[in-house]
Amino acid sequence: MKLALVGDIGGTNARFALWRDEQLESVRVLATADYPGPEAAIRAYLAELGLPLGAVDSVCLACAGPVSGDEFRFTNNHWRLSRAGFCRELQVRELLLINDFSAMALGMTRLREDERVLVCPGEPEANRPCVVIGPGTGLGVGTLLALDDGSWLALPGEGGHVDLPIGSPREAELWQQLYLMLGHVRAEDVLSGNGLLLLYRAICALDGHEARLSSPAEVTAAALNGDEVALGVLEQFCCWLGRAAGNNVLSLGGRGGVYIVGGVVPRFAELFLASGFARSFRDKGVMSAYFEGIPVWLVTAEYPGLMGAGVALQQALGSR
């Protein structure tokens, strides 16, 4: 491959890097609000590095939402692009668009040992799917499969939009409160950054507390400072994440292991490790024994989505 560019584009930030010799170089983070579209952001990125148009031969962009056809509209920011127009404007030969959690899943294949923390001990089973799940702006869910030729297959999906699972009378009461606030209750409605605040408000309404906190960051900070209500919010968040992760393991036969990713959980990693996540992960009645030996890791890598975009590009174009 010649010089390539990879991007991981979210609602607030777009992360770009060069991909050379199967490694990331020159990572930059740009605010999506500062640019009318991805072409303008990439022009600015290349200009900062002193690279002219045409210096990059191929591009892979990891984007939230299903990707197909020539036209793509980003689901969580104002950007949109035409594949043909993008390649023409930036003088790029190849553009690969992939689902953001496909990129995240592929990024797990390049993790160093110091970029993940063991949550549940076990040994991954060869040739079985891995589950990649992560609360961030939304809730992403991906599946990773090792193929016989040594390459990897990431299956895109919209698993964050499944119904929120209920596993106890307390959760049933909370679900009713959330239903009054939202109507249909998705896993993503709770298991996301904004979901932390929604869950806080639901718990306050249910238990008769004054809702004094007004942002996810305030809820996290209050919990880290010992606030009992906020601690209860994070505990319930972790338990629901465990139930959602366990449901995906059962659906996919995910005995290859589970990776917890995204920007939310690492902010309260110690509380997460001490929480009821592991108990809720395995709490499946007659199928609870199925979870024996399935490892779970909390991923702390800084740019796994960018790395996964590079892996996707390498697999798609490396043989050419």
Residue pLDDT, tens place only, 265-312: 999 999 999 999 999 999 999 999 999 999 999 999 999 999 999 999
Find which of 94-103, 129-138, 214-223 is predicted with most confidence, using mean pLDDT: 214-223
For the record, the structure tokens of 205 come out as: 């309404």
- Provide the CA 307 distance to its chain's centre, in angstroms: 13
- Beta-carbon contacts of 287 under 8 Å, excluding residues fewer than 6 positions away, are 250
For the chain, the average pLDDT equals: 93
142 marked as part of a ligand binding site: no
Domain with CATH 3.30.420.40 in the chain: 4-105+303-317
Task: Determine the topology of domain 112-300 in CATH.
Answer: Hexokinase; domain 1 (3.40.367)
10 marked as part of a ligand binding site: yes
pLDDT (tens digit, 9 = 90+) per residue, 181-230? Answer: 999 999 999 999 999 999 999 999 999 999 999 999 999 999 999 999 99
8 marked as part of a ligand binding site: yes
Dihedral Cα 101, 106, 110, 116, nearest 10 deg:
40
- In the chain, pLDDT over 90 holds for what percent of residues? 80
Query: Taking residues 162-170, what's their average pLDDT?
Result: 96
Report the DSSP beta bridge partners of residue 5. 18, 59
Q: Which has the higher per-residue pLDDT, 2 or 83?
A: 83
Residue 96 φ/ψ, nearest 5 degrees: -110, 120
Instruction: Please determine, for residue 49, whether its predicted confidence score (pLDDT) is greater than 90.
Output: yes
Domain with CATH 3.40.367.20 in the chain: 112-300
pLDDT (tens digit, 9 = 90+) per residue, 255-277? Answer: 999 999 999 999 999 999 999 99
Q: What is the pLDDT of residue 67?
A: 72
Q: What is the pLDDT of residue 78?
A: 84
4-105+303-317 has which CATH code?
3.30.420.40
Name the pTM for this structure. 0.91
For the record, the structure tokens of 80 come out as: 């949109």
Q: How far apart are CA 232 and CA 57, in angstroms?
A: 50
11 marked as part of a ligand binding site: yes
- Beta-carbon contacts of 239 under 8 Å, excluding residues fewer than 6 positions away, are 167, 171, 275, 276, 277, 279, 280
Dihedral Cα 158, 161, 167, 171, nearest 10 deg:
150
